[in-house]
Amino acid sequence: MSHPRRALLFMPGDDSRKIAKGAALGVDSIIMDLEDGVAASRKEAARATVVAALASVDFGTSERLVRLNSVSSGLMEADVAATVHARPDGYVLPKVESGDNVRWVCDLLSQAEADHGWPTRSLRLIAIVETARGILRLEDIAQADLRLDALAFGAEDLAGDIGATRSRDGWEVFHARSAVVIAAAAYGLQALDTPWTDLGDLAGLDADARRAADMGYSGKLAIHPRHVPVIVAAFTPSPEAVAAAQRLLAAYHTHQALGAGVFAFDGRMVDAPMLRAAQRLLAQAGIAQP
């Protein structure tokens, strides 16, 4: 089972203080960034800072991820070579446009695992799809390699790529946002939603995160620590929802034992989609299913 990823917090890879601060928050995943969060002149310093953090910082239960530069940047291979010996839990690959992009990185990680005697596919991968070409090739990307855990959606880069103007309601990227979560579901991957870029509008973030959860996303990228609790709350089922799901599944098993294939629950006929939704909700909450 993949690591639970409700909130994934970016921290600039060249700032050891911010990485340590993020690690102390208990967030599901910390992403130490070598791409957009680091100036071109600071790439080597960022790699060294990330390696030092992996060796010395107590991340607790937080997953330790490193965002690489894109395959097309010419920096990706050096990013992997400089950091993989420190053994992060996984990597985040931005601007993925094809299955070949994924396989290129996976080949590098497979070689590192063989060189160090680590278990096969122990280094996990998340692919960010944020270009027009990437959206058109989602199926190719989603089935590229078994190392791939999740597809993440990047709305800001996509809007720039297609010449769209970003808006609060996000209709200009709604098709792509839906396509990412559908492709992830089709291939058994987590779907991670785009960051909310307004640092102070927590009410807007809450509404946006809950909309993403309703769409089927399992988590959301975060660019500021204050966003983390809002995102976690949006992607954590309420106690009432958990109790309802448990009652539904218990009723289903009772009726199955009695030989009844169809039954009513809280005034509604129960069908397979309702059962799957209940099972998924309990899985999100980390609760064993009856």
Residue 81 domain-assigned (yes or no): yes
Residues 22, 133, single domain; the answer is: yes
Q: Is 33 a catalytic residue?
A: no
Average pLDDT of 28-50? 97
Residues 135, 210, single domain; the answer is: yes
Residues 34, 169, single domain; the answer is: yes
Residues 49, 137, single domain; the answer is: yes
Any bridge partners for residue 269, and if so which? 264
Residue 218 domain-assigned (yes or no): yes
Residues 79, 61, single domain; the answer is: yes
C-alpha to C-alpha distance for 211 and 163, rounded to whole angstroms: 24
Residue 22 domain-assigned (yes or no): yes
Residue 228 domain-assigned (yes or no): yes
More confident residue, 3 or 154: 154
Residue 290 domain-assigned (yes or no): no
Split into its structural domains, the chain has a count of: 2
List the domain range (segments joined by +) for residue 261: 239-285
Least confident of 25-29, 160-164, 218-222, 278-282: 278-282
Confidence of residue 289 (pLDDT cuts 50, 70, 90): low
pLDDT of 287? 67
Residue 2 domain-assigned (yes or no): no
pLDDT of 112? 98
Average pLDDT of 204-220? 96
End-to-end CA distance of the chain: 18
Do residues 223 and 7 touch, judged by C-beta distance below 8 A? no
> What are the residue ranges of helices labelled H in the chain?
16-23, 43-56, 76-83, 99-116, 132-136, 138-142, 155-162, 174-186, 202-215, 228-234, 239-257, 272-285
Average pLDDT of 10-29? 97
Residues 196, 260, single domain; the answer is: no
Residue 226 domain-assigned (yes or no): yes
More confident residue, 2 or 169: 169
Average pLDDT of 196-202? 95
Residues 173, 222, single domain; the answer is: yes
Do residues 224 and 252 touch, judged by C-beta distance below 8 A? no
Q: Which of 58, 169, 266, 271 is catalytic?
A: 271
Residues 244, 230, single domain; the answer is: no
Residues 244, 200, single domain; the answer is: no
Do residues 151 and 101 touch, judged by C-beta distance below 8 A? no
CATH number at residue 22: 3.20.20.60
Residues 275, 162, single domain; the answer is: no
Average pLDDT of 19-43? 96
Residues 139, 266, single domain; the answer is: no
Residues 167, 215, single domain; the answer is: yes
Q: Which two tokens stand for residue 200?
A: 């102070």
Residue 1 domain-assigned (yes or no): no
Q: What percentage of the chain carries pLDDT values higher than 70?
A: 97
pLDDT of 2? 66
